[in-house]
Amino acid sequence: MSNLIGKITNILLLSLIAISAVLAILFYIDIVGASEYSGVTKFTGILVDWAILLFILAAAAAVLFSLLNIVLKFMDDAMAATKSIIPFAVAIIVFFIAYSMASDTVLSMPQYSGADNVAGTLKWTGAGLIMTWILLGLAILSIVYAEASKFFK
């Protein structure tokens, strides 16, 4: 079964790499390049859409395989599964802390008349930024702790 999964994964990976290589070649030989008339790229949207698709696939694979790993560990050893759940729980807790700290105050921007200056969008954006800063601080603290613990051993 794992051999079949490995073969399917390799075929999928090689096909994604081949499509990416073809798009890169088409871009560099200027088939998917700049338009002569408008100065704007003709099919750059295809490349951006492909990059977004690859990002979504990578994110989904990371989450799905992590959850699959938790389920498989839980079937073998419940204690190992609880250790695998801890990072998800910490991420959820950090997100709720960041979301509660984020402000939903609408910005006063006289020159902007777009639709993105609404409370909900600003709350989610603020939560994402605060979560990034919290995770950066935790990463720096963990590096300092790891080095300090090595020093005192």
- Per-residue pLDDT of 79-134, as tens digits, reads 777 777 888 888 899 999 999 999 988 888 888 777 778 888 889 999 999 999 99
pLDDT 10s digits, 25-80 = 877 776 655 545 445 555 666 777 888 899 999 899 888 887 787 777 777 777 77
C-alpha 35/C-alpha 33 separation (Å) is: 7
pTM: 0.57
Single-letter code of the amino acid located at 72:
L
Q: Using an 8 Å Cβ cutoff, are 69 and 84 in contact?
A: yes
Other residues' Cβ atoms within 10 Å of the Cβ of residue 131: 19
